[in-house]
Structures are given as structure tokens and as C-alpha cells.
Structure 1
Amino acid sequence: MYKMETKVAVVTGSNKGIGFEIVKGLCQKFEGVVYLTARNEERGRQAVKKLEDLGLRPLFHTLDVTCEQSIQEFATYIASRYCGIDVLVNNAGILDFDKSVSSYEDAKKLIDTNFLSLISISKILYPLLKNNARIINISSDWGLLSNIRKQIWLDTLVKDNLTVDEILQFVNDFLQAVKNGKTTMVSFAGHYGDYKVSKVAMSALTFVQQRQFSEQGTDISINCVHPGFVKSDMTKGMGDFTPERGARAPLYLALEAPQSQKGTFVWHDCHQVNWDD
């Protein structure tokens, strides 16, 4: 099958909220095809229809980031049609806003979705990235290192030679603590500790993977972004920004930021911050 030279952008978990608005912004400004993806096909196609009603032309494919088979099916589909992926926005994530302290099972499900899925995506989708591709990880101000207070992890996560295995140890240490009824490794007595750990881990992974890309000699950029406290279903309608405003910084990284901007933590107003202050 002939592979199209068309540029390709992919947004995970994008049938609503910030992800939906990122797809909309990409459809308006990205010179290529834009894939809106979702676990649920019906909701995904309904989201595509909303954008089509605005005169936009997103494409749809099912993608469950917690299922390696689903990621592989998507990768096979993209690889059979295009020369690679130019923009990948890792947006999929969950949070039960009604539970400030989660059970072990709930914490494991959240971390599987918000963080461990990125490991699977790295393994399966990253080989499809073009040499100058851009990856945007949707993090949070809860992804700043200041949300962690266990000294061993404060010291470990800032190491220049931090490894993915050490980040996985950090995550597993938290899950073991939850299983044992202790969540004091995160701030605020562990409130939303699983979400904070998942986003701190995402931030740390961003910096490790940027170092790996640079060592491999590729021009791929990967950055993480705090989109602001956005009103969404996940936050039960609470927040400071609309989803459209929340998409501003991710779209900046996808479309406007210099390719030399790599391995940074970007605030919702598009300026860089030190994640470990």
C-alpha cells in the first residue's frame, strides 16, 4: 500500500475536554491529518461529528491507551498508511474528583491510565515518530516535584542520569504505600496522591525520554505542560479555564514553539518553569 507523505497528528483521549479542543485547534492550523482517538467508538465518532459540523475534518480511530493490543492495532493502521507521526499529544487521563484518597485498586487503575500507558505508547508508537516529531505530555501543576516530600525520591528524581526503571520504582513505592495504608510520600496528607504521583512520574519520564532522544541523535522534542485548572467532566465543572483556554499551551508546543525547545515543563501561559523548584 502506498504510504502518504501527509503530516500526521494524534491526540489520545480526545473525545471531550482539553483533548477535544486540542484536536479542534490542530484541525484549524496543522497542515496535515488530525486523529481524534477515544476508547469508546460511539463517543469518539460523536466528537468527530461536532467538529465536522464546524467545517473541520478530523479523522477517528479507537485507541485505549491502557491496552497494548489497542495501541498496536492503531500503530499498524498508521504505519500502513503514512510515513510516520509528526505530532503526538498524550492527553488521555483519569481522576475521580470525588475521592481525595483512593483505594489501592483505584490508585492502580489511575496510574495504569495516566502513567504506565505512556510506557506502552513509548514502546509501540514512538518507533513511528518522524525525526523532527513533537510529543506533548499533558501534565498538571500537580506534576511538579514540590508535590513529593519523601526525601529519597526528591533526590532520585532530579538526577541527571535518572532511568525509566527508577521512575517505575517510584510509582511502585507509592502503590505499595497505598496498599499498606500510608500515603505520606506526597503533599497534603496524600490527597489525590495517586494523581500527583502519576503526573510527577509523567514529568520525570518526559525529561528522561528527551535525554534518550538526544543521545540517539534524533531531533524529536518532548515537553510536558500544565494546561491550567480546566473546567471539565473530570473536575466536576470546577476550574479557572475553559477547555479551549486549556488547549492554548499544548497547541503552542505542537505548532509554534521552536523545535529547539526540548525537555521543558511549560505553564498554561506558555512560559517555561522549573519543575523541581
Structure 2
Amino acid sequence: METKVAVVTGSNKGIGFEIVKGLCQKFNGVVYLTARNEERGRQAIRKLREFELNPLFHLLDVTDEESIKEFASHISKHHSGIDVFVNNAGILDFDKSVPSYEDAKKLIDTNFMSLLTISKILYPLLKNDARIINLSSDWGLLSNIRKQVWLDTLVKDDLTVEEILQFVNDFLTAVKGGKNTFVSFAGQHGDYKVSKVALSALTFVQQRQFTEQGKDISVNCVHPGFIKTDMTKGMGDFEPERGARAPLYLALEAPQSQKGTFVWHDCHQVNWDD
């Protein structure tokens, strides 16, 4: 019998690490802990082995197309496909509420643009009933955007990936326009908000595309809660283990018919565009 495969990006610490831990405990298959830094990734593996859990490690930098291709080659060589894919990798500089253009672009490249490269290279390896879980945020709700044209565009039933890219690029242009233009687009930490709104919107577009292709793949996004991690400088309402609860629910317990939803940290569905 072929072995099932789960992959979690950016999972050497924080919520990603706890998702890997939970999958190792409950998922009937192989679990890949991935990280862009080999030493930190292997340290995380050793930590999980102390719990008698045995994930596999693979280097994966989601911002590096060659790294993604190398990982895809590894999966193709050793497995028949991917059953669960958790897009967890993400960055946020809590200290820079109004970032420079370079910092905003780096964040958006990591948190959103990387998903487009992953979709192109790794999603062809998904099995027909695979589950994709995108880590969003309460800052990934549409109400975080202040520019009316995008409030109107991003809710369209026929929204396209190209239009989401236009949204992201319009924001990056606003960053170049200075602090006032930046804040009028999405407020403080607007780069993070835009990256997560774009990720949420992509979730719904890709779900529609898979359904149109006749595939039973489910794509859902999730707000894990305000979690105490390095990214939040230790601030938050919950520990990382609690942040893994809803992503693990979508990976392991949710009905396969649950598709294209935005799930809150307590596992209930919310309206993304309220």
C-alpha cells in the first residue's frame, strides 16, 4: 500500500513545528518538516525525536524556485504524490508598522508570491483528494483593506490570479508613494495585511479552479489565532500548540466536502468578506 505524504513549509519552529508534531501523532503517513535553514531544521527534527516522533527533513526555501524544484524532484522520486500540503511559511517584522518598499516586497514575496511558485511546481504532485491548508490571519480578512476598488474586485465570483497580482502590485506602488498613501491602502502593517488578504483570495480562486478541473482537492485558509511566537515578539493570546489546532483540524478531521472556506482558530467557518 502506498504511503501518504504531508508537507509543512517553514516548520522548524512556532505554529509550523506544532503542526508537524500533531501530524506525526495522528497522520497515517510520512510527514515532512521543511525549513530554509538546514541546521535549524535538523535541530527541530531532533527535538521531535525526543517525543519519539519521526518526521523527515527536507531543505525548502519557498522564495527560491530552484529549492522548490529540488524538493519536487525528491517527492517525485520517493513518493506517489502529496496528500496534505500546509502553506505555513511566513514573515512579519513587528517593529516596522510602515516598512520600506524593499521590506514590503520581501514580505509579500515570502508570504504570497511563493504560493504561486509552489502552485506551479508542487501542486501537480497533489493526489486527487489532497488537502491544502493556507495559514492566513485575522489580518487576512477583506475588511483590512481600505481601498474601495479592491474591496469590490476581490469579492468577485470570477476573480482571477492576475487580478490578485494587480492588487498586490497596486499596494507596492502605494508603498513607494509614502506613508500617507501606504496607510490609506491598508493601515499599519499593511504589507502583512495585503499578503494575507491576497493569500485568502488565492485560496478561493484555486478552489474554484480545482473544482472546475474535476478534482476533489480541498483548499482552505485558516486564522490560527494571535500566537506567541518569535514573529510576534512573544506577544499573543495562545501558545503555538493552540495555534496548530485549526490547521490540524483541516488536515485531518474536516469533511473532504469542506472546500474554499475561511476557518477561525476555534475551527468554525467565518465569512471572509464581511
1:238 aligns with 235
1:50 aligns with 47
Alpha-carbon offset, residue 5 of structure 1: 1.5
Give, in whole Å, the separation in 1 of the partners of 2:136 and 2:246: 11
2:266 aligns with 269
**1:147 touches 1:186 (CA, 8 Å); kept in 2?**
no
1:247 aligns with 244
Q: What is the letter of the counterpart of residue 166 of structure 1?
A: E
SS of residue matched to 2:182? coil
**2:19 touches 2:244 (CA, 8 Å); kept in 1?**
yes
2:210 aligns with 213
**1:174 touches 1:185 (CA, 8 Å); kept in 2?**
no
1:24 aligns with 21
1:118 aligns with 115
Matches within 5 A, 1:56-67: 56-67=53-64
> 2:157 aligned with 1:160, yes or no?
yes
TM-score by length of 1: 0.97
CA deviation digits over 1:124-150, x for unaligned, max 9? 000000000000000000000000011
Matches within 5 A, 1:137-216: 137-181=134-178, 182-187=181-186, 190-216=187-213
Q: What is the letter of the counterpart of residue 143 of structure 2?
A: S
**1:87 touches 1:134 (CA, 8 Å); kept in 2?**
yes
Question: Root-mean-square deviation (CA), in Å?
Answer: 0.7
CA deviation digits over 1:75-127, x for unaligned, max 9? 00000110000000000000001111100000000000000000000000000
Q: What is the letter of the counterpart of residue 123 of structure 1?
A: K
Give, in whole Å, the separation in 2 of the partners of 1:162 and 1:111: 20
Give, in whole Å, the separation in 1 of the partners of 2:146 and 2:29: 44
Give, in whole Å, the separation in 2 of the partners of 1:54 and 1:273: 35
Give, in whole Å, the separation in 2 of the partners of 1:243 and 1:157: 30
Unaligned runs of 5+ residues in structure 1 are none
Give, in whole Å, the separation in 1 of the partners of 2:89 and 2:130: 19
Alpha-carbon offset, residue 185 of structure 1: 4.3
Matches within 5 A, 1:58-77: 58-77=55-74
TM-score by length of 2: 0.98
Unaligned runs of 5+ residues in structure 2 are none
Alpha-carbon offset, residue 32 of structure 1: 0.1
**Structure 1 stretches of 4+ moved >2 Å:** 184-187
Matches within 5 A, 1:100-115: 100-115=97-112
Give, in whole Å, the separation in 1 of the partners of 2:89 and 2:184: 25
Give the one of 218, 222, 238 matched to 2:219: 222
SS of residue matched to 2:183? coil
Give, in whole Å, the separation in 2 of the partners of 1:86 and 1:186: 37
